[in-house]
Amino acid sequence: MSAPLRLMAVHAHPDDESSKGAATMARYVREGVEVLVCTLTGGERGSVLNPKMDRPEVVANIAEIRRAEMDRAREILGVQQRFLGFIDSGLPESEDEELPDGCFALQPLEKAAEPLVAAVREFRPHVIITYDDDGGYPHPDHIMTNRVSVEAFEAAGDPDRYPGTGDPWQPLKLYYQMGFTKERFEALHDAMTERGIGSPYADWISRWEDRPAKWPVTTRVPCAEYFDVRDQALIAHATQIDPDGWFFSCPRELQQEIWPTEDYHLARSLVDTDLPEDDLFAGIHADDPTPACH
């Protein structure tokens, strides 16, 4: 029997894995791929974004509650998951606001990347997915997540780097998750408008900068049949997701019809592949050796 393919998803906070690439992960798990979510912080400084959960006892125990939510989401998606131990940086309200001492976004790059390098060397993923260098949106933890993901991808195969974190392993492909694109939201907005459904996207689209995408979509993974699993995992993060909020304003059936994929940008590849792709593992065979260490 062939060895299983392995996928690692690197995220900043609990709930990010369910809002970014969750249906992709659910699909691959059902196809026999081993999937590990690495969550870099515990979301300790996150706010309660669901008004139905905005109670004093929830606010006081937000870190503990978010870990329990992550456990439920992990079970729903069928993935493995581990926290890498950093402290949430919070989202500054202005450019002048300083980040709190000791938070993830202020860590030196090598210190921040070391636990992820160790996780890569232990789990030995063929593919890593994470955010682009703007973080998907400019949260300091998301931007730092991109930096440590790129560092781990480039360093984990080098036996001279990060000694003491395990035997070298070189992942073969690194992707940026591209779920929040103007093209996607315009398509959903138009479909909702044509069907007489109120769309929440008009103002957002009108404020979108009219310029080419920094990271074009190279890979669209069909996964519409797993959108229900994605939504269940999202709802498991009850402090963060309002089941009556904008995230669920577009009917699932319409999403499945109009935009049945989750989308990615291939940022690094050590294997030959033809673009565009419909599979994160295009060009990869589980039994193939990884490239020689640097």
Q: Residue ranges for the binding site for Zn(2+)?
A: 13, 16, 142
Residue 159 tokens read as 């036996």
Which helix (H) or strand (E) covers residue 143, if one does? helix 140-155
SS3 content of the chain, % helix, strand, coil (to 5): 40, 15, 45
Are 246 and 203 in contact, with CB atoms under 8 Å apart? no
**What is the Cα–Cα distance from 40 to 30, expressed in whole angstroms?**
25
**Other Cβ atoms closer than 10 A to 97:** 10
Query: Residue type for 215, please?
Result: W
Which residue in this structure is represented by tokens 């669920």?
248
Which residues participate in the annotated binding site? 13, 16, 142
Are 143 and 105 in contact, with CB atoms under 8 Å apart? yes
